[in-house]
Amino acid sequence: MSLTSINPKLTKAWPKLQAHFNELKRNHFYDYFKKDNGRADKFSISWGKFYLDFSKNKIKEETISLFEELLSEINFKSSVEKYFAGEKINTTESRSVLHTALRADKDEKIFIDDCNIFSKISEAKNKIRFFTESILSGSHKGFNGDNIDTVVNIGIGGSDLGPSMVIESLRHYKNHINTHFISNIDGDHVSGILEKINPETTLFIIVSKTFTTIETLTNANTVRDWFLKNANQEDIPKHFVAVSSNIEKAVDFGIKPENTFPMWDWVGGRFSLWSTVGLSISLSLGYDNFSKLLEGAGKMDSHFRNSKFSQNIPVILACLSVWYNNFFNYSTHAVIPYCEDLKSFSKYLQQSSMESNGKQTDRSGNFVDYQTGQVIWGQTGTNAQHSFFQLLHQGTKIIPSDFIGFRKPQKGNDLHHDILMANFFAQTKALMEGTVAEPQNDNHKEFLGNRPTNTLLIDSLSPESLGSLIAMYEHKIFTLGVIWNILSYDQAGVELGKKLASNILNDLKSGDFSNHDSSTHSLLKEFKPTD
């Protein structure tokens, strides 16, 4: 069963939210703090080692209860159950959306096409575990008998961003394996990596759900040609494995069936790091840490599935984003981790969020007449303070932001951590208060404040907490999609550009640019003069 299609603007709660917005839109939310000492308690959630303070937002208690009304009216709970139960909620592709099953309890049962997917999941996990052990113990050797010490992941989008972000973020958990990622079709990307590695000790993982992505296949061919300059065809099985839902195509490429790791069409590419797509994570951090990442995500799944809306972290974050996106018309959202190891986190979220919710059509196939998908961006603090924070503080645009910080440093010392975190707390306070209490008598120096932020304080950055953090955003994305009445799990919007690129590639080969508009025609002639 698919998700029901309800235009949020036609609910009873929406005009109430509109009226409520009209009442408070000119308020300065710092005034709410002055009137209510208990505001931080009212608008915060403690969950395990996470503490979310969402009190620095343009909200009152009524805002939350109106969103609760909206969620009840659209029967949000039943959408959540359909999602977890494996209903085919990705209707345009007729697929379930079950990345949650990858981190669920082994005893659960979900049948897809009459097959309990948990047996497939545990088979795949065992295969990852055994393979990881064989590489890390040195029982799997390279073609000249040396141990493998380098892993190169060849993939793009969801077959790249998740694993590379996780490995970078958890570098303190890394073992001796060096990891590299080749994604871009830009030949300088692949050549830059090949310059650094030794074919005798490198394992290549070709990761492509479809095994049709031109970037990945071109890069994989280039890498194989390079490898064969140093080794023989029969050495390939020791050095090339593939992750795909299209095992046939992987085998056609030359990968031995026993060297393939299955993935399934019920796992979306951008939510696939929990699947065999995470093989590089397991190799680089060890299988136990990969398992802990999954466990952390599983805990967030239970929190999301079972907590009431007002105490539900992903639900609250999503409602706040609807509040800003659809009522205040703030269309972008910044994510600022105060942790240098999370420097790729916002880049990762850009795909999971914007490829999911950048949609113009509702679940009934009509063009929507309201805003969907937010623009997600960000950088780590404090670096971001010295680049774009000027605009956050004094610009004419309001950018709601998530500040993510940790109680404990990783290996950094306490002095650094206290300075880092003092900045973390100071920024959200400055964004809220501005200089309202101490007018500057000089507009250039005035901070108007009233800029909303969420503060997420987590115990420490670990495989488990990172798993929970990623899953938290996954469920926020789901919740937004349900409220906006869109289909979050397809990505037709990337197809047109791919088709045109393939046509233009043919035109570049033939030198005939006559079929194009005058701009594209002139550009192609500038790029490749034909006479």
Q: Residue 527's Cα: distance from chain center in Å?
A: 35
270 binds ligand F6P (CB under 6 A): yes
494 binds ligand F6P (CB under 6 A): yes
* Residue (422 or 494) nearer to ligand F6P, CB: 494
Q: Please, which residues bridge with residue 72 across strands?
A: none
Q: Which two tokens stand for residue 38?
A: 């208990």
* Residue (438 or 495) nearer to ligand F6P, CB: 495
| Contact pattern for ligand F6P over residues 214 through 243, marking x by CB under 6 A | --x---------------------------
DSSP letter string over 261-329?
EE--TTS-GGG-TTTGGGHHHHHHH-HHHHHHHHHHHHHHHHHHHHS-GGG-HHHHHHHHHHIIIIIS-
Q: Residue 326's Cα: distance from chain center in Å?
A: 22
Report the alpha-carbon distance of residue 72 to residue 12 in Å, rounded: 11
The only residue of 259, 348, 491, 524 in contact with ligand F6P, by rule CB under 6 A: 491
Q: Please, which residues bridge with residue 376 across strands?
A: 333
405 binds ligand F6P (CB under 6 A): no
| Contact pattern for ligand F6P over residues 345 through 364, marking x by CB under 6 A | ----------x---------
Report the alpha-carbon distance of residue 484 to residue 362 in Å, rounded: 8
Q: How far is the CB of 157 from ligand F6P (least distance, A)?
A: 3
299 binds ligand F6P (CB under 6 A): no
* Residue (10 or 505) nearer to ligand F6P, CB: 505
174 is catalytic: no
164 binds ligand F6P (CB under 6 A): no
Count of CB atoms situated within 10 Å of the CB of 505: 10
158 binds ligand F6P (CB under 6 A): yes
Within 8 A by CB and 6+ apart from 201, the residues are: 142, 146, 147, 148, 149, 150
Within 8 A by CB and 6+ apart from 23, the residues are: none
Q: Which two tokens stand for residue 458?
A: 């987590």
294 binds ligand F6P (CB under 6 A): no
Q: Catalytic residue, from 386, 444, 499, 509: name it.
A: 386
Using a 10 angstrom Cβ sphere, with 0-12 exposed, 13-18 middle and 19 or more buried, the burial of residue 3 is: buried
Within 8 A by CB and 6+ apart from 97, the residues are: 83, 89, 90, 266, 268, 271, 489
* Residue (75 or 222) nearer to ligand F6P, CB: 222
* Residue (100 or 385) nearer to ligand F6P, CB: 100
Residues 180-219, interacting with ligand F6P (CB under 6 A) = 208-210, 213, 216
Starting at the edge strand that comes first in sequence, how are the strands of the sheet with 150-154 ordered?
178-182, 150-154, 202-207, 240-244, 260-262
Q: How far is the CB of 210 from ligand F6P (least distance, A)?
A: 3
Whether 355 contacts 494, CB under 8 Å = yes
Q: Residue 369's Cα: distance from chain center in Å?
A: 26
Q: How far is the CB of 353 from ligand F6P (least distance, A)?
A: 13
Q: Catalytic residue, from 34, 196, 498, 528: name it.
A: 498
92 binds ligand F6P (CB under 6 A): no
269 binds ligand F6P (CB under 6 A): yes
* Residue (74 or 156) nearer to ligand F6P, CB: 156
Q: Please, which residues bridge with residue 178 across strands?
A: 150
Q: How far is the CB of 223 from ligand F6P (least distance, A)?
A: 15
Q: Angle, to 10 degrees, between the axis of helix 463-484 and the axis of helix 76-85? A: 130
Stretch that binds ligand F6P, among 155-163, 374-382, 390-398, 435-443 (CB under 6 A): 155-163
Q: Catalytic residue, from 87, 355, 464, 474: name it.
A: 355
Interface with ligand F6P (CB under 6 A), residue total 15
Q: How far is the CB of 474 from ligand F6P (least distance, A)?
A: 14
355 is catalytic: yes
The only residue of 63, 132, 159, 280 in contact with ligand F6P, by rule CB under 6 A: 159
Whether 434 contacts 449, CB under 8 Å = yes
498 is catalytic: yes
Q: How far is the CB of 212 from ligand F6P (least distance, A)?
A: 7
Within 8 A by CB and 6+ apart from 29, the residues are: 56, 57, 58, 59, 432, 450, 452
The kind and range of the H/E element at 525 are: helix 518-527
Q: How far is the CB of 162 from ligand F6P (least distance, A)?
A: 9
* Residue (183 or 427) nearer to ligand F6P, CB: 183
Residues 48-77, interacting with ligand F6P (CB under 6 A) = none
* Residue (9 or 347) nearer to ligand F6P, CB: 347
Q: Which two tokens stand for residue 217?
A: 């296949």
Q: How far is the CB of 356 from ligand F6P (least distance, A)?
A: 10
Q: How far is the CB of 41 from ligand F6P (least distance, A)?
A: 41
> Helix, strand, or coil here: 441?
coil
Active site residues: 355, 386, 498
Residues that bind ligand F6P (CB under 6 A): 155-159, 208-210, 213, 216, 269-270, 355, 491, 494
